[in-house]
């Protein structure tokens, strides 16, 4: 995970070319070792500005309309070491030390991960700023929080703060007096909901899975298990354990394998592996409780694909994503033939007409398969052959069945 740092890369991330220099001048690599996670080694402490929540801040050095002037130091560290952060993801700390910028201590999580993390640690995720303001606003909530902290703790003159954030002194005054960018109040109803949630959800305790190697084989990161457990909402051992993070169109939980875009795993399958070990080839993990978002391993059983299809049919459900069940008995094609058609076409040497002759179906049927219109499969990616038009059917005769 080594990111090449070029001025173009920095500019694309909204940072000036001198950002790395400014970043490194404010890092102390001999920070403390966290008592709860000594294996992580020392934190890299941020010695510069901090925001109200305790995260390090660094000036971006480029002004963009509607974007804040300052970046969170741990996010900058991720961008410098690991690469861009895709939309909607947060940089979270394994070490729980918000001033830490050691890339080894960081991982990417969703807002929901963070919400659950707050809940698990007994913090109230509802107390926070109201939504971001209009797109043309010069400041972001992070900036405003920083202005308030700087104004309160560092006793800088208003003119200096105004200069730092490229705003007027009046604006600084209004922010410091809570006249603009007012803090949101949490309504009593929201508070009640939060408290009842906190009461209902059992504290989630987990010991490392004895089947961690099965996860590692799939390419899951070290943080996988802890991320898995932080996304579960359960009221008791026997109830459904509901997945609180991302779900697919069918309502099944989805979890990323690792910190850097390495693909997803279905949460209920992950649960099965954590509790029971690897899933044998060709087997499906099925729900007894008929709740796709449930990841309680006691609510699942291992079935074959036909059993899965029968189960789906019994529940009157068709898969929106993933291969449809085998088709009618008189279908000319099967899933294996469809896969063959797609792979031959994707090699780019064969057109639709020769394929239609080879498999004894119409050209229209081939076209629909190639475009994932019939025999739909979410994992299939069509590759457009980049051949000169005349060359495309060159090898056609090789595929025509000899009669
Ligand atoms: Zn750390
Ligand atoms: Zn269940």
- Ligand 1 is an ion; its neighbours by CB within 5 Å are 43, 95, 97, 100, 102, 105
Residue 327 inside a domain? The answer is no
Same domain, 36 and 116: yes
The C-alpha atoms of residue 304 and residue 279 are separated, in whole angstroms, by 11
Looking at the predicted structure, is the pLDDT value of residue 91 above 80? yes
pLDDT score of 115: 60
Same domain, 309 and 354: no
Ligand 1 centroid vs 39 CA: distance in angstroms? 11
Residue 169 inside a domain? The answer is no
Ligand 1 centroid vs 102 CA: distance in angstroms? 6
Ligand 1 centroid vs 35 CA: distance in angstroms? 11
Same domain, 71 and 110: yes
Mean pLDDT (whole number) for 293-305: 88
How many domains does one find in the chain? 3
Same domain, 265 and 346: no
Last residue of a domain, which of 314, 349, 371?
A: 314
Residue 162 inside a domain? The answer is no
Mean pLDDT (whole number) for 331-351: 81
Same domain, 121 and 35: yes
Residue 164 inside a domain? The answer is no
Ligand 1 centroid vs 130 CA: distance in angstroms? 29
Same domain, 7 and 76: yes
pLDDT score of 73: 95
Ligand 2 centroid vs 122 CA: distance in angstroms? 26
> Tokens in use for 77?
């560290």
Last residue of a domain, which of 314, 349, 377?
A: 314
pLDDT score of 122: 47
DSSP class of 232: E
Residue 88 inside a domain? The answer is yes
Last residue of a domain, which of 77, 99, 128?
A: 128
Is 349 in contact with 394 (CB distance < 8 Å)? yes
Is 385 in contact with 396 (CB distance < 8 Å)? no
Mean pLDDT (whole number) for 218-223: 85
Same domain, 235 and 265: yes
Is 258 in contact with 221 (CB distance < 8 Å)? yes
Is 77 in contact with 19 (CB distance < 8 Å)? no
What residues make up the domain containing 377? 335-399
Domain containing 61 — which CATH number? Answer: 3.90.75
Residue 149 inside a domain? The answer is no
Cα angle 207, 213, 217; round to 5: 135
Strand ranges in 240-384 using DSSP code E only, listed in sequence order: 242-243, 254-256, 264-266, 283-287, 300-304
Residue 389 inside a domain? The answer is yes
Q: What is the DSSP string of 94-124?
A: SS--TTB--GGGEEEEEHHHHHHHHHHTT--
Ligand nearest to the backbone CA of 93: 1
| Average pLDDT of the residues of the chain | 76
Summarised one tens digit per residue, pLDDT across range 177-209 is 877 777 655 556 666 665 565 555 556 667 788
């Amino acid at each position: 995970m080594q990111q090449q740092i070029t001025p173009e890369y920095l500019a694309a991330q909204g940072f000036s070319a001198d950002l790395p220099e400014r970043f490194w001048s404010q890092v102390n690599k001999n920070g403390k070792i966290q008592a709860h996670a000594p294996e992580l080694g020392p934190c890299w402490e941020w010695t510069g500005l901090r925001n109200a929540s305790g995260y390090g801040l660094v000036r971006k050095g480029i002004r963009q309309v509607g974007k804040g002037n300052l970046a969170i130091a741990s996010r900058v560290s991720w961008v410098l070491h690991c690469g861009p952060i895709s939309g909607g993801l947060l940089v979270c700390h394994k070490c729980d030390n918000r001033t830490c910028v050691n890339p080894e201590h960081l991982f990417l999580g969703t807002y929901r991960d963070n919400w659950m993390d707050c809940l698990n640690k007994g913090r109230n995720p509802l107390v926070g700023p109201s939504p971001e303001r209009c797109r043309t606003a010069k400041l972001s909530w992070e900036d405003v929080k920083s202005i308030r902290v700087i104004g309160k703790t560092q006793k800088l003159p208003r003119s200096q703060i105004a200069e730092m954030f490229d705003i007027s002194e009046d604006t600084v005054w209004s922010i410091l007096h809570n006249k603009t960018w007012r803090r949101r109040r949490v309504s009593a109803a929201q508070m009640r909901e939060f408290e009842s949630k906190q009461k209902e959800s059992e504290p989630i305790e987990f010991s490392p899975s004895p089947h961690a190697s099965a996860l590692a084989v799939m390419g899951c990161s070290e943080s996988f298990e802890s991320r898995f457990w932080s996304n579960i909402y359960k009221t008791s051992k026997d109830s459904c354990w509901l997945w609180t993070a991302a779900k697919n169109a069918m309502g099944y939980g989805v979890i990323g394998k690792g910190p850097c875009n390495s693909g997803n795993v279905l949460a209920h399958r992950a649960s099965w592996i954590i509790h029971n070990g690897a899933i044998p080839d060709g087997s499906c993990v099925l729900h007894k409780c008929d709740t796709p978002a449930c990841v309680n391993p006691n609510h699942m059983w291992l079935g074959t694909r036909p059993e899965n299809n029968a189960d789906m049919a019994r529940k009157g459900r068709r898969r929106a994503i993933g291969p449809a069940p085998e088709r009618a008995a008189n279908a000319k094609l099967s899933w294996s033939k469809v896969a063959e058609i797609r792979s031959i076409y994707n090699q780019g040497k064969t057109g639709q007409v020769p394929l239609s002759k080879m498999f004894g179906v119409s050209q229209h049927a081939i076209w629909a398969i190639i475009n994932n219109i019939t025999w739909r499969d979410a994992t299939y990616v069509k590759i457009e052959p980049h051949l000169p038009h005349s060359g495309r059917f060159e090898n056609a005769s090789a595929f025509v069945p000899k009669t």
